[in-house]
Amino acid sequence: MTRSLPAAVLWDMDGTLVDTEPYWMAAEKPLVESYGGTWSHEQALTLVGLGLEDAARILQQAGVRLSTGEIIDTLTASVMTALAEQGIPFRPGARELLADLRAAGIKTALVTMSLRRMALTVTDLMDFDAFDLVIAGDDVVRPKPFPDPYLQACTALGVDPADTVAIEDSPNGLRSAVAAGTTALGVPHMVSLEGIGASALWPSLDGRLARDIAELHTAHSARRREDAAL
């Protein structure tokens, strides 16, 4: 089977491109505790991949007496400070794969539920021109797990979702990518992605290059054609 490159590769950010989930968790716990509540690691895992407004409402239920916007601003500022002080904690293989995709001439987009200022902090700290487009949580009406963020990215890039690969680490993100009609690649980090409908699950991006993405996209497109013919 001849490999075909996708028209674009769409990247989630937190937990997929960069390992910022510990930064978020480190910000959540003292915030809840400052209002007399408790916040466990298991509770923190429930926020992975959620839109920030949904996450803020859960923190309010845990006792944080701030508005949704204030919670989002507080957490975002904390994570941005950690990024500035500690640098970008790339997930294994993510930077190398992204650079290889760019070298192959494939369009790339960052599709994240973090705020745009957070996403731009990450892209500005990168040492190469990594993305053609950034779609952030404050750019969309409906967050992941709705398909809107990925559909919006495809529209802006001028590509068919069926001709893209989306890379995700969270259940909600993967559901969004699947619902948008992409070739949805799951790379689990903190939570399992079994049974969500990924086109493939890879344990890591380490050692993966554009040719691997092309093989995945080609195989998924062939299966899609076979299913349509039935």
Give bridge partners of residue 78 from the DSSP assignment. Answer: none
Q: Are 71 and 64 in contact (CB under 8 A)?
A: yes
Q: Are 154 and 171 in contact (CB under 8 A)?
A: no
28 membership: H or E segment, kind and range: helix 21-33
| Residues with a known catalytic role | 12, 14
What is the torsional sign of CA 130, 136, 139, 141? positive
For residues 31 and 164, give the distance between their C-alpha atoms in angstroms, rounded to a whole number: 38
For residues 138 and 51, give the distance between their C-alpha atoms in angstroms, rounded to a whole number: 10
What is the torsional sign of CA 103, 106, 112, 116? positive
Nearest of 114, 173, 174, 176 to residue 148 by alpha carbon:
176
Q: Could you count the other beta carbons within 10 Å of the beta carbon of residue 195?
A: 7
What is the torsional sign of CA 21, 26, 30, 31? negative
